[in-house]
Amino acid sequence: MSAIVEGELKNKTLHLLVKTPRLNAASAREFKSGCQHLLQPGVEFVVIDFRNVDSVDSSGVGALLSLYKYLPRETGQVTLLHVKPPVQSVVELLRLHRILQIQS
């Protein structure tokens, strides 16, 4: 079990909860490792609860993109839930809202 992320697989959807206030260079590696441990073949959707995340940097964005790239190209989707304004600003600035679904 990761100190940064916990998750549960339901059918083709992996539900994740990020447990750190910063998804940055210090935490992104553990986030990515925790996600890879939880991902299984056949997963098409990832729903990530960001309620605890106050900030994200380029390393955190890279970790999110690696998760997205793991999913099937045609049907894969990553949804971010409970996104705080500073995190949403970064995602929109990088135009990632085009590939990541955001629900504030």
CA 9 vs. chain centroid, Å, equals: 14
Would you write out the chain's pLDDT as a tens digit for each of its 104 residues?
Answer: 578 999 999 999 999 999 999 999 999 999 999 998 999 899 999 999 999 999 999 999 999 999 999 999 899 999 999 999 999 999 999 999 999 999 87
Collapsing DSSP to helix, strand or coil, 52 comes out as coil
Residue ranges of the alpha helices (H) in 51-100? 58-70, 85-93
Contact predicate 103/94, CB 8 Å: no
Task: Let me know: does 73 contact 43? Beta carbons within 8 Å.
Answer: no
Q: Please say whether the beta carbons of 88 and 53 come within 8 A.
A: no
